[in-house]
Structure 1
Amino acid sequence: MPLYVLAAVLEIAGCFAVWSWWRGASIVWLIPAAIALAGFAYLLALAPPTHAGRSYAAYGGVYIAASVAWLALIERTRPDWADLAGAGLALAGAALILWAPRG
């Protein structure tokens, strides 16, 4: 799962840079955005499940939890109970997708 966490940080940072530019920040913000988003795509392609759809689905849960962490750590906004519960449910779903026994 560390691979997913790093991919999520890169995706959120890249999207945040585009979001900032769209709201008036310098166009220079698009350079780190492109680098971060390319890094995200590369890391997600390295994910271990043999099926891309399963890998992307599991990643989605980690992305949700990382987004809530971004809210708290970068945007300095305290997540509420629904943010935390939703992130917990998403992580439980990701764990089920990744580690469920399959025949």
Structure 2
Amino acid sequence: MPLYVLAALLEIAGCFAVWSWWRGASVLWLIPGAMGLAGFAYLLALAPPSHAGRSYAAYGGVYIAASVLWLWLVEGSRPDWADLGGAALALVGAALILWGPRS
């Protein structure tokens, strides 16, 4: 799970850098953006499940929760009950995908 958390932070930071450039920030924002997105892809490729689809699905839940934290800590917008509830549901889904019983 820590691998997913780090991957999510890199993806969000990379996308945020591109988002910032698109909205008028310096073109230099694309450099950390590209580095963040490349790091995200590398880390996600290291994820432990034997099937990529399962790994990506579980990562999605972590990404949702990390995005809500980014909203609060970086953008300064406090999450509401729907943000927190949705993130909690996504994390439960990610845990079920990762650690649920397999036949």
Compute the TM-score of the two structures, normalised by the length of structure 1: 0.99
State the alpha-carbon separation in 1 of the partners of residues 36 and 63 from structure 2. 15
1:78, CA displacement in angstroms?
Answer: 0.3
**Cross-structure match for 1:13:** 13
State the alpha-carbon separation in 1 of the partners of residues 50 and 33 from structure 2. 28
**Cross-structure match for 2:61:** 61
1:101, CA displacement in angstroms?
Answer: 1.0
State the alpha-carbon separation in 1 of the partners of residues 2 and 74 from structure 2. 20
State the alpha-carbon separation in 1 of the partners of residues 62 and 100 from structure 2. 16
State the alpha-carbon separation in 2 of the partners of residues 67 and 90 from structure 1. 12
**Cross-structure match for 2:29:** 29
**Cross-structure match for 1:79:** 79
The DSSP-based 3-state class of the residue aligned with 1:17 is helix
In structure 1, stretches of 5+ residues that fail to align are none
In structure 2, stretches of 5+ residues that fail to align are none
**Cross-structure match for 2:101:** 101
Compute the TM-score of the two structures, normalised by the length of structure 2: 0.99
The DSSP-based 3-state class of the residue aligned with 2:47 is coil
Dislocated runs of 4+, deviation >6 Å:
none
1:88 pairs with 2:83? no
State the alpha-carbon separation in 2 of the partners of residues 96 and 12 from structure 1. 23
State the alpha-carbon separation in 1 of the partners of residues 37 and 78 from structure 2. 26
Percent of pairs identical after alignment?
A: 83
The DSSP-based 3-state class of the residue aligned with 1:85 is helix
